[in-house]
Amino acid sequence: MEIKYCSTRDKTNIVSPSMAILQGLAADGGLYVPQEFPDFDLDIKKLSKMSYQEVAFEVMSKFLSDFTEEELKDCIKKAYDAKFDTLQIAPIKKVGANYYLELFHGSTIAFKDMALSILPHLMITAAKKQKSNQEIVILTATSGDTGKAAMAGFSDVPGTKIIVFYPKKGVSPIQERQMLTQKGKNTYVVGITGNFDDAQTNVKKMFNNASLSEKLAQENLKFSSANSINIGRLVPQIAYYVYAYAQLVAKNQIQLGEKINFSVPTGNFGNILAGYYAKKIGLPINQFICASNKNNVLTDFFRSGTYNKKRPFFITNSPSMDILVSSNLERLIYHLTGEDASKTKSFMNDLVIKGEYTISEEMKVKLAGFYANYASEEETAQEIQTVFSENAYVLDPHTAVAGKVYRYYQEETQDTTKTVIVSTASPYKFPRAVIEAILGKSLPKETDFELVEQLHQKAHLSIPTAVTEIMDAQILHNTVVHSDEMQQEVERILNLN
């Protein structure tokens, strides 16, 4: 079955999977979605005997139908290799009564590695298939984790350059250091004075700027995206939902066909949307628990049907979820409208012009598979402490948000369905928030690297190479610009005039 992708804002804008990956964002400003979902015979029994790489192939081959078996297997092999510190790639751990799907065993110790270790290979393969000889310029906004994971993936990849924008004051010191020490002649990291939403909005503007595209084309360059607006980010993520389910079957934790819940720490809505797509192809999922931090715009949306971005922006201890405009929600909205591109477009226009939109009652009914709530900073710290003292298991703050919100869900619904908490980062990426929560006191004098050592001693958890290798690595990037000057900076980097 051949799968094509169309834009959420124009159903007549139809492209092949490889073209969708190459473009990143549709020219009309919409996001590419599958025109129809692949016909799937999810043979869980068979999948439960497979390795991560094999499951990834089964799932991805259906969505990327213009990739040959050889091409896709080659991409998968290059992506999910010894960069991961476990052969299982995405191990699932039982802690207390819950299951944690650990997605942080890749080279940058956050779940972004699951998709970004394969995206560069998919993109280069896609470029070859499209016979494109233009150099690809990856333009990326990051709330902390995407930037490093994308640069690690694209560093020194021939035919590509990557430019990352991050909020100078909105990432953890370890996240910032990971980015600023990034090697590779084709990597550029730029801090901005605004927040993640400013970075993302201005990146999207550059994508949609026709005269800028023309200037690029004259230099034989072309933009693409490593953010989860690129369908090439979402498709690899569907695989770990299927793998998690198959592993629970393999370990006799659930019966074949038994429904399970997933609690997902959510920012740009990419991770949870991949789960929704897994459900669409038949994975037995009961509820998605959409967990937010104090930036709880999604909680309000799922409860009221109104998405309202006019609210204060908070910097929290779970910075990768500090987002007020969740890009991938546009894809869900499109599906909720019954695949109506003009309605979707008008909601998105309202969001830009009025700062809000309200979905219809009919659409709201279709949100029944989602429960949403949020955890404050104190509640997040409390969750880290509780799980550590009860189970000697250390959560990073993002995962703790998902754990806490799952407790609220259980209290409210008494639902006893088995639940997987999606673990998105290693605690070592956020040592301050984690050790302060465990010890119940603030440690203002210690540097993050000293806190890494304290965490190591307290938790008896080995320190990942991703952290030790940046401790005394040289800072290679130091540019900071105003968020209004991002385009000028891109033009300067690319020598466009």
Of residues 431-460, those binding ligand PLP (CB under 6 A): none
Q: Is residue 167 within 8 Å of residue 192, measured between CB atoms?
A: yes
- Contact flag: residue 271 with ligand PLP (CB under 6 A): yes
- Contact flag: residue 265 with ligand PLP (CB under 6 A): yes
Among 307, 267, 280, residue whose Cα is nearest residue 110? 267
What does the alpha-carbon distance between residue 372 and residue 391 come to, in Å, rounded to a whole number? 26
In the complex, minimum distance from the CB of residue 125 to ligand PLP, in angstroms, rounded to a whole number: 23
Quick note: the x/- pattern for ligand PLP over 11-50, rule CB under 6 A, is ----------------------------------------
Stretch that binds ligand PLP, among 40-48, 243-251, 260-268, 451-459 (CB under 6 A): 260-268
- 224 vs 320, which CB is nearer to ligand PLP? 320
- 44 vs 162, which CB is nearer to ligand PLP? 162
- Contact flag: residue 266 with ligand PLP (CB under 6 A): yes
The residues, ordered by sequence, that sit 6+ positions from 442 with a Cβ below 8 Å of its Cβ are 436
Quick note: the x/- pattern for ligand PLP over 291-330, rule CB under 6 A, is -----------------------------xx---------
In the complex, minimum distance from the CB of residue 271 to ligand PLP, in angstroms, rounded to a whole number: 4
- 16 vs 140, which CB is nearer to ligand PLP? 140
- Contact flag: residue 425 with ligand PLP (CB under 6 A): yes
Of residues 98-137, those binding ligand PLP (CB under 6 A): 110-112
- Contact flag: residue 90 with ligand PLP (CB under 6 A): no
- 32 vs 67, which CB is nearer to ligand PLP? 32
Stretch that binds ligand PLP, among 51-59, 191-199, 218-226, 261-269 (CB under 6 A): 261-269
- 348 vs 421, which CB is nearer to ligand PLP? 421
Structure token pair of residue 325: 């405009």
CB burial string 387-401: b at 16+ within 10 A, e below? bbeeeebbbbbbbbb
In the complex, minimum distance from the CB of residue 269 to ligand PLP, in angstroms, rounded to a whole number: 5
In the complex, minimum distance from the CB of residue 104 to ligand PLP, in angstroms, rounded to a whole number: 8
Q: Is residue 397 within 8 Å of residue 318, measured between CB atoms?
A: yes
How many chain residues interact with ligand PLP (CB under 6 A)? Answer: 17
In the complex, minimum distance from the CB of residue 43 to ligand PLP, in angstroms, rounded to a whole number: 28
In the complex, minimum distance from the CB of residue 215 to ligand PLP, in angstroms, rounded to a whole number: 30
- 16 vs 397, which CB is nearer to ligand PLP? 397
- Contact flag: residue 268 with ligand PLP (CB under 6 A): yes
One residue of 424, 435, 437, 486 binding ligand PLP per CB under 6 A = 424
- 169 vs 482, which CB is nearer to ligand PLP? 169
Of residues 140-159, those binding ligand PLP (CB under 6 A): 145
One residue of 294, 345, 398, 404 binding ligand PLP per CB under 6 A = 398
Query: Using CB atoms within 10 A of its CB, is residue 376 exposed (0-12), middle (13-18) or buried (19+)?
Result: middle
In the complex, minimum distance from the CB of residue 144 to ligand PLP, in angstroms, rounded to a whole number: 7
Q: CA-CA distances (angstroms) from residue 482 to 148, 202, 475?
A: 21, 11, 21
Q: Catalog residues that contact ligand PLP under the rule CB under 6 A.
A: 110-112, 145, 228, 265-271, 320-321, 398, 424-425
